[in-house]
């Protein structure tokens, strides 16, 4: 059966607008939206457990810094270590792209640990709650990858396949047995901005031996976005049943095991992101997914077993219960005279 969506060419401009020296991109907008959407979720959780919601803004700043720094350093160390030797200033140019979720997996716990240490929270209590927001942010980031036409999957003819002409790193030669829906793309070239050119050619353009084609692929970005939302639903259901009596480490353990198991399996559908992954049995993303899965299994085994601190703790002094008996105010009685 011919795929209807195989003819859909997904090629939106990743730039929303150019405002003077500032470039507004879909990826940056969706990345930021994760924190905007996450803040009211945090406030709901904190209020439900009688923790002052004023901590939400403080924690959000810690997590924002931890996410960006961890994701950027993770990309450099795990995927482009040569950058440190040949062009170290490029490390700071986050707007050029290059953020690794595995790096954020290290940066966010460090940020939460600093927050917990400085403000007298239990770090596992914080991490158990923050995974709900991290899951929402993960879904939005994968939508950002979709808008960027990056991190796509292998060629396929499934009914929901999508063509990514802007993914110039994974174009195929015309000699390849092309599936239905393939489109011809001009040979990419580097622009003065450092970006790679992208140009679709007319459908009736002649196809020669050097022609490059964009073919229908698995939209793996959307697979991961939907999975993240399902994971958030599972975690919220678990938290909503027990709230302040949630076993310490349970939600974090579930998050690590379920998210990185999907990441490990989902990588089998993805194209290699860097050259050294091409012939490896497991790619870098799969290898980096194994330690979080093991940590998550250990947390699930230990969840709530600390008899002295089974549920974690957070400062609740700002929400002392109000007296329930009627309060009668009496005016001082003065002498007449």
The answer on pLDDT for 21 being more than 80 is no
Asked whether 190 and 35 are in contact (CB, 8 A), the reply is no
Asked whether 232 and 132 are in contact (CB, 8 A), the reply is yes
The answer on pLDDT for 29 being more than 80 is yes
Write out pLDDT tens, residues 56-93: 999 999 999 988 888 777 767 766 767 666 666 666 56
pLDDT class for 121, splitting at 50, 70, 90? very high
**Residue count (the chain):** 337
Burial track 250-272 (b if 16+ CB lie within 10 A, e otherwise): bbbbbbbbbbbebbbebbeebbb
Per-residue pLDDT at 48: 94
Better pLDDT: 302 or 88: 302
Per-residue pLDDT at 208: 77
> How far is the C-alpha of 53 from the C-alpha of 7, rounded, in Å?
48
The answer on pLDDT for 336 being more than 50 is no
Question: 153 pairs with which residues across the strands?
Answer: 270
Highest mean pLDDT among 74-88, 259-273, 309-323: 259-273
Question: 25 pairs with which residues across the strands?
Answer: 15
Q: CA gyration radius for the chain?
A: 25
Question: 61 pairs with which residues across the strands?
Answer: none
> How far is the C-alpha of 164 from the C-alpha of 9, rounded, in Å?
6
Mean pLDDT of the region 116-143? 94
Mean pLDDT of the region 253-262? 96
Per-residue pLDDT at 128: 97
Report the predicted TM-score, pTM, of the whole model to 2 decimal places.
0.83
Per-residue pLDDT at 95: 56
Query: What CA dihedral angle connects 131, 134, 138 and 140, to 10 degrees?
Result: 130
Per-residue pLDDT at 196: 75
Positive/negative CA dihedral, 114, 120, 126, 127 = positive
Give domain limits for the chain: 5-161+218-319, 165-217
**C-alpha distances out from residue 260 to 30, 68, 135, 273, 296, Å:** 22, 20, 12, 18, 9
> How far is the C-alpha of 267 from the C-alpha of 286, rounded, in Å?
7
The answer on pLDDT for 210 being more than 90 is no
Mean pLDDT of the region 129-138? 93
Mean pLDDT of the chain: 83
pLDDT class for 189, splitting at 50, 70, 90? confident
The answer on pLDDT for 318 being more than 80 is no
Alpha-helix residue ranges (DSSP H) falling in the chain:
26-48, 55-79, 83-86, 101-119, 123-147, 220-242, 250-266, 284-302
Output phi, psi for 202, to 5 deg. -60, 150
Write out pLDDT tens, residues 163-187: 999 998 888 888 767 778 888 888 8
């Amino acid at each position: 059966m011919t795929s209807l969506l195989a003819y859909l060419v997904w090629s939106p401009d990743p730039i929303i607008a150019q405002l003077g020296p500032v470039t507004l991109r879909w990826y940056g907008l969706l990345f930021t939206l994760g924190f905007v959407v996450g803040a009211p979720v945090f406030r709901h959780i904190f209020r439900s457990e009688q923790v002052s919601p004023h901590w939400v803004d403080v924690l959000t700043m810690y997590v924002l810094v931890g996410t960006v720094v961890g994701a950027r350093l993770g990309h450099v160390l795990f995927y482009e270590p040569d950058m440190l030797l040949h062009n170290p200033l490029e490390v700071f140019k986050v707007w050029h792209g290059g953020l690794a979720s595995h790096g954020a997996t290290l940066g966010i716990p460090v940020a939460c640990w600093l927050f917990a240490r400085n403000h007298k929270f239990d770090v596992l209590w914080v991490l158990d709650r923050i995974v709900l927001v991290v899951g929402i942010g993960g879904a939005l980031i994968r939508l950002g990858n979709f808008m960027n036409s990056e991190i796509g999957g292998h060629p396929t003819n499934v009914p929901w396949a999508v063509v990514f002409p802007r993914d110039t790193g994974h174009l195929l030669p015309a000699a390849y047995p092309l599936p239905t829906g393939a489109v011809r793309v001009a040979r990419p070239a580097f622009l003065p901005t450092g970006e790679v050119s992208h140009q679709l050619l007319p459908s009736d353009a002649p196809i020669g031996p050097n022609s490059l084609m964009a073919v229908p692929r698995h939209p793996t970005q959307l697979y991961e976005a939907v999975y993240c939302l399902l994971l958030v639903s599972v975690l919220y259901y678990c938290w909503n049943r027990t709230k302040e009596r949630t076993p310490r480490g349970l939600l974090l353990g579930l998050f690590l095991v379920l998210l990185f198991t999907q990441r490990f399996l989902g990588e089998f559908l993805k194209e290699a992101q860097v050259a050294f992954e091409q012939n490896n049995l497991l790619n870098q993303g799969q290898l980096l997914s194994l330690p979080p899965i093991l940590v998550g299994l250990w947390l699930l085994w230990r969840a709530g077993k600390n008899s002295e601190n089974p549920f974690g703790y957070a400062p609740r002094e700002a929400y002392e219960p109000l007296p329930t008996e009627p309060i009668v105010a009496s005016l001082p009685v003065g002498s007449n005279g």
